[in-house]
Structures are given as structure tokens and as C-alpha cells.
């Protein structure tokens, strides 16, 4: 299994129109509703990555991938007569990622590691008592790493929407990355850097 990772700078604004051609009418409508340019670009690149990789997986053109938009939810892959692969999209600041697994459901989360973030305040509102206790017991230098591992794990499991059988943290110099699945991984997923 692969995690496809893209940086917004690798997709110049002058090329965005060509990316839009792969999207459905519903996706274009949603793209146009974003007020912030960065968020719109994250959405567009995320859907482009997902469509490109699903198309390769399914043996069809990206524009033919039957993704259906769902209000306040991840897109749904409307396949008939074919086993539906599990997939997940995540974004954080200038990064976008997607993952696809043919034999199981997955949840993916990425977060830019920001050492200036008040991780103790965020953890107090989001983590359980044991996680907070473990976080406070660490040195300041280790608190950030622990926070991001827990945070991405929680987010990935929320996106999975079912019981997590296997959770993996992937190494990246700027990001915390967690991927979970409802079936065990045969091996740790590999990161593939994608440019247009």
C-alpha cells in the first residue's frame, strides 16, 4: 500500500485548470464554494490525486472514477459489481495526501509538525486522561512528537469509521502521518511523493 503525498508548490496555479478537468460537476461546485484559495487548492489537488490513483487501480480514466460527494463527509466510491477499495484523503497546510488499499478500509491523517503549537492546551481538550498524563510526564522536547503521534492516530481512526485493527505511523521530516485499517497491514505503507 502507498500513501501519495503532494506539496501545493508542486502544482502551480497556472496548471489548476487542467486538474479541474478530471473532477465531477459536484466536485467543481464544491471547489468553487471555498473562500480561501489555499483550501480550494488543497481540495482540488486532493481530489486530483485520489482520482489519478483510483483510476490506475480500477483501470479507467480519472474522469470516469465514480466519486460521489457527500455533505460534511468523505466522498463515496459508487462501484457496482466490483470490490470497492478503501481510501482516505488528508491535508495540512501546504500538504495533501491520499491512500488507497484494495483489500480493506483505511483512515489517513497528516499534520504539519509545528513546534510552536500549544500542544498541552490542545491535548487537554482532545486527549483522554491517560494520554494527557503520559504527555505531561515527557520532557518538553518529546511532548511535541507524542502529541502529533496521538493526534494523527485519533484523526485517522475517526476517518476509518470502524474498529482499527492496525495503526502505523510513517516517518517524514515535516509531517506526522498516521494510517489505520480494519485489517492488518502486510507491511508498513510506503510514501510516494507526487508532483504534477
Query: Rg for the chain (alpha carbons), in Å?
Result: 17
Domain that holds residue 36: 2-194
Number of structural domains (the chain) is 1
Query: pLDDT tens digits for 31-40?
Result: 999 999 999 9
Give the CA distances from residue 169 to residues 24, 127, 174, in Å, rounded to whole numbers and listed in that order. 32, 18, 13
Q: Are 85 and 101 in contact (CB under 8 A)?
A: yes
User: Which CATH number is 23's domain given?
Assistant: 3.90.470.20
Q: Are 62 and 23 in contact (CB under 8 A)?
A: no
Give 182: exposed, middle or buried? Use CB within 10 Å, 0-12, 13-18, 19+: middle
Return the higher-pLDDT residue of 153 and 194. Answer: 153
Query: pLDDT tens digits for 63-80?
Result: 899 998 887 778 889 988
Tell me the three cell numbers of residue 139. 520532557
Tell me the three cell numbers of residue 29. 461546485
Count helices and strands in the chain by DSSP H and E runs? 6, 9
- Assign 3-state DSSP to the chain and report helix, strand, coil percentages, each to 5: 40, 25, 30
pTM across the whole model? 0.93
Give pLDDT, residue 196: 60
Amino acid at each position: 500500500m502507498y500513501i501519495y503525498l503532494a506539496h501545493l508548490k508542486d502544482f502551480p496555479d497556472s496548471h489548476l485548470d487542467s486538474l479541474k478537468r478530471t473532477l465531477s460537476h459536484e466536485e467543481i461546485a464544491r471547489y468553487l464554494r471555498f473562500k480561501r484559495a489555499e483550501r480550494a487548492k488543497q481540495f482540488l489537488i486532493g481530489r486530483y490525486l485520489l482520482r489519478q490513483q483510483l483510476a490506475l487501480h480500477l483501470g479507467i480514466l480519472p474522469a470516469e472514477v465514480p466519486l460521489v460527494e457527500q455533505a460534511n463527509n468523505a466522498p463515496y466510491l459508487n462501484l457496482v459489481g466490483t470490490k470497492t477499495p478503501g481510501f482516505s484523503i488528508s491535508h495540512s497546510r501546504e500538504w495533501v495526501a491520499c491512500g488507497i488499499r484494495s483489500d480493506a478500509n483505511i483512515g489517513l491523517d497528516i499534520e504539519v509538525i509545528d513546534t510552536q503549537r500549544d500542544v498541552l492546551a490542545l491535548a487537554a481538550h482532545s486527549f483522554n486522561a491517560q494520554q494527557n498524563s503520559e504527555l505531561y510526564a515527557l520532557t518538553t522536547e518529546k511532548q511535541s512528537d507524542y502529541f502529533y503521534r496521538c493526534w494523527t492516530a485519533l484523526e485517522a481512526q475517526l476517518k476509518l469509521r470502524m474498529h482499527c485493527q492496525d495503526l502505523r505511523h510513517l516517518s517524514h521530516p515535516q509531517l506526522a502521518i498516521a494510517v489505520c485499517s480494519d485489517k492488518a497491514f502486510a507491511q508498513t505503507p510506503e510514501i510516494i511523493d507526487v508532483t504534477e
